[in-house]
Chains A and B, each alone.
Chain A
Amino acid sequence: MGRHVQAVTADTARETPTLDAFEALSDRCLDDSYRLAAVVLRDQAEAQDVVHDAVLLGWRKFGSLRDPARFDAWFGRIVLNLCRDRLRTRRRGQVREAALVAEMDMGGHDDFGRVMERDAIAAAFPTLDPDLQLVVALRFYKDLQLEAIADLLGIPLGTVKSRLHTGLKRLRAELERAGWRGENER
C-alpha cells in the first residue's frame, strides 16, 4: 500500500477510531503477520489461529493505541506475544526430538546431507526457549537489525544481543550433539 493511502488511513483512524479504520489497518498487516507467525510457530494452522486472535484482541485494545501511524509495530507485537504464548504452551509437552537424529552422519555435502542438516535444524530449533526462538527467527527470517528487534519486542538492545548469542550457541551445541561437523566447510 502506498504511503499516501497509508497516511490517509492513519489520519482517518486518528480522527475516528472506528471498526472500518481498524479493519483497514489490520487487513494491511494480515499477510505479513501470517507469514511471520507461520515461520515462528512452524505450523500454518496455528499461525492462522494466532492472526485471528490477534485481530480480535487488537480491536479490543485499539482504544489504547495513541499513534495509528505505528499500528504495524503495535500489531506485530501483539502477534509475537501470542506466538510466544503458544510456543510456551507447546514447550510444556515437548519431546526432545533432537536426540532422534543423534549419531547420524551429516558430513556429506550432497543433497541428502543437506536435507539431513535441515532436519537436524528442524529438530534442534524447537529445543530453544521461546524467547530465543523469537529473536533468532526475527533476525534470520525477517532480516531485522537488532535495534529493530528490540523495538518490535519492546526489550532492551542488550537483551536482544544476549538472546541471539545464547540462541545460536545453544543451537550449535544441539546440532553438534546430533552429529553436525564443524563450520565453514563449504
Chain B
Amino acid sequence: MKYQAGSFAAARKGHSDRPDRMEAELTRWLDGLEPTGTPIALRLRTFADLREEAARPRRRFARLGPALSSLGSLGAIVIGASLIMLVAVVGATVDHAHAVAGGMAPLTGSGSVPQTPGDFSDIGYGPDPVALSILFAATALAAWGALQTRVRRFVARVTYGKDEAPAGEPLPFKRQLRHMPRAALATGAIGALFVAWEIWMVLTYQGAGLIQPNWIVFFQWIGLITFIPYCSIVALRYRLADRSSRLLLTATTAMLAAYVLVAALLTLDLMTIYSQWLNELAELSTSLMAVSTVALAAGLASRHGGIPRPPLWIASTIVGGFFLLVAAGYFIVGMWPHTAEGWITDATGILSSWLGTVGWAAITWIGLSAWRQRSSWGWRLLLFVGVLALLDRVPGYVLGIYSSNSIATSPGGDGSLLETIRMQYFWWKSTGMTLEMFGVLVVLVSGLRIARPSLGDPASPLQDDELGPIQSPAEDVASANRMDGASNAAADGISADA
C-alpha cells in the first residue's frame, strides 16, 4: 500500500476501523469550506480582463526583470567565490615575493624573463590579472548559459527527443545468435580484440621491465577491461528502437573508441613511430570520453523518464563551479601556449574535462532523484557511481590549482609534499575509477527498468479522466517533467511577481 497521510486516510480506503477523529473532522471542515458553485461574475470578469490583457501591447523588456534577478544572484556567487580565490592566489604570490625576491616584482620561472601583465607572447609564471579576469568572465558565462531557456530546451530536446515512444523494458540476455543485434556482435568483436591487445601490452611492458606485477596493476587492468562489454550489453539488453538505448549505445561506443584510440597511440609508441602530432590526437580520446559521459547521462535520464529538472541555481552553480575548477589550473599559472595547436589543445582539454565532470554531476543527480523516487536498485546505484566519479575527478582539479599555485610561487617547483599528495591521489583515482566502471557495468547489466508511477489509486493525477490515456505513464511523467522545465520558471516568476 502506498504511504497515506494518516489513519483516517487509511480508514477511508478501508484499511482500518479506527479512524482518527481529528483527521476526520479536518476533512469534513475542509469539505465544508467548498463553495457551492463558481460565481458567473468571476467567469465574466476574468475573461473580459483576459481579452483586455491580450489586446494590450506587450511590455518592452518584460523578460529583463527576472533575468536580471537571477543574474544578480549568480553574479554575487561567482564574484564572491572569485574574490576568495583571487585573494588566496595573489596573497600567496605576494608573500612569496617578499620571502624570496624581497620585493613586489612579479615572480618569474627559473631563468625566465620577467613578465608584464597581459603579455601573452611567452611563458610567464604568476597569476595574471588579465588571465584571472578572463577566467571569471568565462565562468560567469558558463553559469549563465545554464540559466538560459534555449540551452535548457536544447538539453531537453537532446535527452527526450520529440514525440518519441516511451522506452521498453529490458530484453532478456538469452537469445539465439541469429537474433542478436549486429551492433552487439560488432562491438563484442572489437572488445575481444581490445582485450587481446591489452594482454599483449601488459606482457610487453613486463618483459621490458617497465611495470612490476602487483595488485594495483591487476586492479587497473580489471578496471580497463570492465568497460569493454558496455556496448554489447546495451545492444543486447535494451531495445535499440528507443531513443534512450541509442543514446546509451552512442555513449558506450564513444568510450570504446576513446580507449581504442589510446591503444593505437600506445602501440605506435611501442613501435617507436610516435610523433608529436599523435600527442594532439591523445586529446581526442579525452573529448570522446566527455561525449560518452554526456551521452550516458542523457540516455539514462531519457530511459528513466521521471527525473526532475534540478533547481536552476544549483544547475548554474554546478556548471559554473566546475568550469572554474577545471579551468583555474590553466589560467592561474598563466602559461600561455606558443602555437595555435597549443591553444586548441588547451581549449579542448578544458572543454572536455568540464563537460565530462558536468556529465557525471548529471548522472549523480539522476541517481539522487531515483533514490528519492524509490526506483529500482539499479537506478539507485547510479548515485554511488556518480559520487565516486566526482570524488575521482574533483581532487585532481584542486591538486592542479594547488600545483599551479606552487609553481607560481616557488620558481623551482615545490617538491616532496606535492609529490606525496600526487601519489596518494593516483592510487585513489585508480581504485575509484575501477569501482566506478564496475558500477556502470552492474547498472547496465541489471537492466534499468522503466520507472512507472502507481496507477492503482483513483487519486493519482495520471488516472484523471481529464488528462486521458493519451500518453503512456512513463511518457506522461516525462512530459510532465519536460513541462516542469519550461514552466517552473513561469510559476516561480508568477510567485515572485505576486
Task: Name the CB-closest residue of A to B487.
Answer: A74
Give the residue of A6, A154, A157 whose beta carbon is less than 8 angstroms from that of B373. A157
* Contact A64 B490, CB 8 Å, known A30-B38, A42-B33, A140-B23: yes
Q: Is the CB of B22 within 8 A of A64?
A: no
Q: Is the CB of B21 within 8 A of A185?
A: yes
Minimal beta-carbon separation of B368 from chain A (angstroms): 10
Task: Name the CB-closest residue of A to B12.
Answer: A143
Chain B residues whose C-beta falls within 8 Å of the C-beta of A82 in the assembled complex: 494-495, 498
For the residues of A in contact with B, the DSSP-based class is helix
Q: Is the CB of B43 within 8 A of A27?
A: yes
Return the CB mask of B30-58 against A: 1 if under 8 Å, else 0.
Answer: 11111101110011011101110110000
Chain A interface residue count, Cβ-Cβ cutoff 8 angstroms: 83
Tell me which residues from 80 to 134 in chain A have a Cβ below 8 Å from any Cβ of chain B.
81-82, 84-86, 114, 117-118, 121-122, 125
* Contact A70 B479, CB 8 Å, known A148-B460, A168-B6, A183-B22: yes
**In the bound complex, how far is the Cα of B263 from the Cα of A69, in angstroms?**
50
Q: Is the CB of A34 within 8 A of B42?
A: yes
Q: Is the CB of B23 within 8 A of A38?
A: no
Minimal beta-carbon separation of B59 from chain A (angstroms): 9
Minimal beta-carbon separation of B188 from chain A (angstroms): 40
Minimal beta-carbon separation of B29 from chain A (angstroms): 5
* Contact A146 B460, CB 8 Å, known A38-B35, A118-B29, A183-B21: no
Q: Is the CB of B54 within 8 A of A72?
A: no
Chain B residues whose C-beta falls within 8 Å of the C-beta of A158 in the assembled complex: 372
Chain A residues whose C-beta falls within 8 Å of the C-beta of B149 in the assembled complex: 64
Q: Is the CB of B28 within 8 A of A34?
A: no
**In the bound complex, how far is the Cα of B49 from the Cα of A10, in angstroms?**
23
* Contact A1 B21, CB 8 Å, known A66-B482, A67-B479, A154-B491: no
Minimal beta-carbon separation of A159 from chain B (angstroms): 10
Chain B residues whose C-beta falls within 8 Å of the C-beta of A51 in the assembled complex: 42, 46
For the residues of B in contact with A, the DSSP-based class is helix
Chain A residues whose C-beta falls within 8 Å of the C-beta of B461 in the assembled complex: 73, 144, 148, 151-152
Give the residue of B49, B50, B482, B489 whose beta carbon is less than 8 angstroms from that of A19. B50
Interface segment among B339-347, B376-384, B400-408, B464-472: the answer is B464-472
Interface size of B as a range: 35 or more
**In the bound complex, how far is the Cα of B492 from the Cα of A138, in angstroms?**
20
**In the bound complex, how far is the Cα of B487 from the Cα of A136, in angstroms?**
24
**In the bound complex, how far is the Cα of B212 from the Cα of A172, in angstroms?**
70
Q: Is the CB of B459 within 8 A of A61?
A: no
Task: Name the CB-closest residue of B to A161.
Answer: B3
**In the bound complex, how far is the Cα of B28 from the Cα of A186, in angstroms?**
15
Give the residue of A59, A78, A161 whose beta carbon is less than 8 angstroms from that of B54. A59
* Contact A141 B34, CB 8 Å, known A65-B486, A84-B495: yes
Q: Is the CB of A34 within 8 A of B38?
A: yes
B178 CB–A CB distance under 8 Å: no
Q: Is the CB of B47 within 8 A of A23?
A: yes
Q: Is the CB of A48 within 8 A of B39?
A: yes
Q: Is the CB of B372 within 8 A of A145?
A: no
Chain A residues whose C-beta falls within 8 Å of the C-beta of B42 in the assembled complex: 30, 34, 48, 51-52
Q: Is the CB of A141 within 8 A of B22?
A: no
B480 CB–A CB distance under 8 Å: yes
Q: Is the CB of A6 within 8 A of B497?
A: no
Minimal beta-carbon separation of A182 from chain B (angstroms): 8
Task: Name the CB-closest residue of A to B156.
Answer: A66
Q: Is the CB of B490 within 8 A of A30?
A: no
Minimal beta-carbon separation of B55 from chain A (angstroms): 9
**In the bound complex, how far is the Cα of B20 from the Cα of A140, in angstroms?**
12
Q: Is the CB of B3 within 8 A of A146?
A: yes
Minimal beta-carbon separation of A72 from chain B (angstroms): 6
* Contact A184 B54, CB 8 Å, known A74-B483, A144-B459: no
B488 CB–A CB distance under 8 Å: yes
Chain A residues whose C-beta falls within 8 Å of the C-beta of B27 in the assembled complex: 140-141
Which of A6, A34, A125 counts the most B-chain CB atoms under 10 A from its CB?
A: A34
**In the bound complex, how far is the Cα of B265 from the Cα of A57, in angstroms?**
60
Can you list 15 A-B contacts (CB < 8 A)?
A3-B466, A7-B468, A19-B50, A30-B43, A31-B38, A56-B49, A61-B493, A67-B479, A69-B467, A70-B483, A78-B490, A148-B459, A154-B308, A172-B22, A184-B20
Which residues on B are within 8 Å of A, measured CB to CB? 2-3, 5-6, 9, 12, 18-23, 25-35, 37-39, 42-43, 45-47, 49-51, 53-54, 62, 149, 153, 308, 372-373, 453-454, 457, 459-461, 464-471, 479-480, 482-495, 497-498
The 8 A-B pairs at the shortest CB distance, nearest first, are namely A61-B490, A3-B468, A141-B30, A81-B495, A66-B486, A85-B498, A70-B483, A67-B483
Instruction: Please give 10 more A-B residue pairs, beta carbons under 8 A apart, in addition to A72-B466, A81-B492.
Output: A27-B43, A27-B47, A30-B42, A31-B37, A31-B38, A48-B42, A61-B487, A64-B489, A184-B18, A184-B19
